[in-house]
Structure 1
Amino acid sequence: MTLQDRHRPLTRPAYGRRPECWVPLGAGTNPDAFGLRVGSVPLETGGLLPDVVVAVQTWGTLAPDGSNAVLVEHALTGDTHVVGPPGPGQPTAGWWPGLVGPGAAIDTDRWFVVATNVLGGCRGTTGPATEAADGQPWGSRFPEVTIRDQVRVEALVADLLGIPAWALVIGGSMGGMRAAEWVATYPDRTRAAAVVAACGAATADQIAWGQAQTLAIEQDPDWRGGDYHRSGVSPDQGLGLARRIAHTTYRSAPELEERFGRSPQPGEDPMRGGRFAVESYLDHHARKLSARFDAGSYVTLTRAMATHDIGRGRGGIAKVLRRYTGDLVVAGVDSDRLFPLELSQQLAAAHGRRPAAVIESAHGHDGFLVEVDQVADLVSGQLARLASRHHRRVG
């Protein structure tokens, strides 16, 4: 089996209850993903978002009773492409390599894996760059959406795929926020959840860093109030600045010091207008993101993260989690300065079943992506517990 075969998704699967809801995705999207039209979606802030389409990518085979489904949630600038190589329409390789596939921690010989592009995104799912009913991009008219709205959309996807409950919902960062929201909103449809490098509610520090990023975009003259999509320009400078801010929070200060220190970029002199190596590193990541991601989606999703709170209107986080009887694993990265480990420890304590797991990494928040082996160990243990309980029930 080649690497490409190992990660080849099931792009037009023979499952699902509403085949008329299947729609092709537009040009420039992941060819291994497909679209599901979930209809009009009620939003937490009021009103309906009409004709929502969600990009979906899958691996493995769904059991006849839908009991073996695992939902993998991406972070802020991620997409449906959890594993696999880049290619036409898919500019990036999988963002959690090695976690999903035959014989992997989430073994697709046993589990059916689903990944969706989040509501408000730009990789096939309805977002600011999507055409509205009038044929024009939503742009500034795209409504405020919340993490709770995004999870509601994912529940509609599960309905269309014939999945009554997820065996496991797992995600890191913004994906971990959605995993936690699944526990809060649909506890009976979430047999297990893994919340990695995330929190139950956004902190003031996270909101502050997010505001700096959204303002960087909105103050770019090419932002045009959010209505730039067919203007021939885009706020790439603002998006690049936002990425520099964000990426600095994603890595740890000791790692940056060890990797770059005060070294100049080769061939440049910071004393004469040149860059330090760490500045060149941030420039590189800014260019990469601006080439593949929509600024409007970046603003929309950052704002959604700021309003994240699984306890909102429910009596608080502890009340929500204490009622959850499924298997909850919470893990944090010991060097994370954006989602400090203490946030994971607080979440685990609120659930009251087991302490938070610690991912050891020098890479800061991005440790949840870098330390795949440690994440895989956590997930393998969790899925083994699920399988054991299933066998006991069957027996």
Structure 2
Amino acid sequence: MKMIHTADWQLGKPFARFPSDVRSALTEARLDAIDRIAGVAAGTGSNHVVVAGDVFDNVDPGDRIVGQAVSRMERAAVTWWLMPGNHDHSRAGGLWSRVRRLAPANVRIVDTPEPVEMEEGAWLLPAPLEHRKTVLDPTAAMVDMATPPGSLRIGLAHGSITEFGATGESSNIIPPDRARSAGLDYLALGDWHGFLAVGNRTAYSGTPETDRFGRDEPGACVAVDARAGDAPVFERVETGRFRWLSRRWELATVEDLERELGALRDEERLSDVLLSLRLGGVASLAQRVDIMSIVESHVAHELRHLDLDAEGFIAKPTVEDVARIDVQGALAAASTMLQELADGGGANSHVASAALERLYVEAMRYDAEAAG
């Protein structure tokens, strides 16, 4: 049987720290991932999509999110198997009762730990979560789940393989040999947001749309070809739109910046990139001002979002830099003092450098206005 394994959609995630336009784009991208997963299913000849928990980001994602999710799944020519995870755990009369009332025939909710026949000869063994955290192994019941002899046994669970968490701190722990002990042909896992194979019969699909910095790879699902008694064949298939990239650039000149930008543009379409950027290096005052102007006035607008940390990018004013600050009297004395403090490397050198840069920018602006 061919199927698609996915998890951790977390539909309705708020992305509260981002501006409203970025929040809206990220929210829609997570819904659009449903359509992309359906496309992967069609392209691989898969009739089933199993979702290993955290379909929704919380137990009350809102009517629009639920309605959008159901309507998008309804128009796909596959059967969707949805299981509660820790973010959208099952509770009487809660979220999953609402989803069940709206669900069309091709959307199946598996919120009880009982085997269910997916198609002739193939059974799904789910381990839905009833609580956000539990110290119990949610897959333990799979060992005793009976299926007809020779059946294909597909496990579906949400939790952490033992090695992931620190002793005494992890919850929803799943032993790494559960596929073997429960006689599973494939164990589809959710909770870890990146793709990870655990042996030859178990895998985390990762999220279909990346949602945090620290994972440069795009979101994905897993295409699985499972055969009773044999090791399955499975591969990661990219589905994500947005890339969450982390970079550190060491700069001294505008040319350094253009080189780094060129490499990034060759790699990705910047309008689909959220970039966590740390700048480092030492530049002249003039070069630093030009670089920061380009980053803040152009690069930030070309990207979907920019998280910028320029604290490690230091300005070392040259004689020419200070000479361009054409001021007299008290300001001239102040610029000289600030340069000495900046060059001294003491506790206040960063503050002095920032102040001298501000003075430089204002002097340049004044000269430009006067010339105009």
TM-score by length of 1: 0.26
Choose 1 or 2 for highest CA Rg. 2
TM-score by length of 2: 0.27
Task: Select the structure with the greater relative contact order (CA < 8 A; seq sep ≥ 6).
Answer: 1
Structure with the bigger percentage of strand: 2
